[in-house]
Structure 1
Amino acid sequence: MKSDVQLKKEVEQELEWDPSINAAGIGVEVHDRIVTLAGHPGSFAEKLAARRAAQRVEGVKGVVVELEVRVPAHDKRSDEEIAAAVRSVLEWTAGLSEKEVKVTVEKGCVTLSGEVDWGYQMKTAENVVVPLRGVVTVVNQINVRGNASGGDIAGKIGAALKRHAEDEARHIDVDVNDGTVTLRGKVGSFPERSIACSAAWSAPGVHNVIDQLSIGA
């Protein structure tokens, strides 16, 4: 098992290796294999990239993000400019529509609302907004239509998990209540955890996914 000192070194190296991250502006602390990131990234996309970088390091059990986005002067945009950019990127993204996804912006915080047919559309809308200049954070309040039964959803998620990661699927419990999927159990790594969550979001009728999976050997 890696020590906290070794994990700290490897997380710092992973941050330095990722070209989308300014590692000099991010501090790393590790306690009981839980990584805490602190500092001031220049964009919301960089903040998320730093979290993903820490999660990629083998042995990390969890990541605490204490990063505050400070947009540099050359990337600052007015709320009106950000709102226009968001509407444009939604219009140009296949499978999405500005008529379904509503946009509000306040001090660089983008809030998405409205209704879509699939959970993946809700996540896609968020993902295409994250890299835009001037965005400080994204709040996703989009609802997902759909009335599939809990049994149907759980069955399809279970089948998808077996296709993607059969060994991990045996250790994951899927609970469905009114379109909300809760995943419980243990997986071996953050990538395996991501596979499970993606499978859940891809099922019809899923409105929300609650990730209660733990990482461990």
Structure 2
Amino acid sequence: MNKILRSFTLFTALSAASVGVHAGNYWTASAQDGWIDGYVEATLLLSGNLDASGIDTDVDDGTVTLRGKVETDIDKALAQELALGVDGVIGVENMLTVFSPGDNDDAAKQRKLTDEKVATVVKTRLMVAPNVTSADIDVNSTKGVVVLQGKVKNDAEKQRATEIATKASDVEKVVNKLSVSE
């Protein structure tokens, strides 16, 4: 009987621990999804060529779902590209509705879309990067070349900004014109 009681007690303790660990994992995943959701929304709002006011986002296990209405096919594609550029995003389900479709076959429009995505992703990453004061950094992208202009506090910040820009997808070259303020 004593052996049965010890086995039952051990089983109960392990079950409770398992539930606690599972709950901790759930809250950790939920917090990460919340962080990703906020980061995606900020990225969409920071894009100068996208009206993100009609876009709703939801994140589940790193997959972003985009819902709402956008004006053109380019806006729909840009929203998806921007969301994919956020750290932690493993996929995007783009359920955006286009109410004024445009011509997506034009290479110049696609290049502009990519340039806007790159500039926005780099600017957003600079904003959340530790040890980089991004308020005085302008980011422009043309044909895969990112140009950083403005002021930073020191040479380490200048180098860190270049590293962040280089790691963004679709970046072929970074031109760092940042100056160090004394």
TM range (shorter): 0.3 to 0.5
Judging by fraction of residues, say which structure has more helix. Answer: 2
TM-score by length of 2: 0.42
TM-score, structure 1 normalization: 0.35
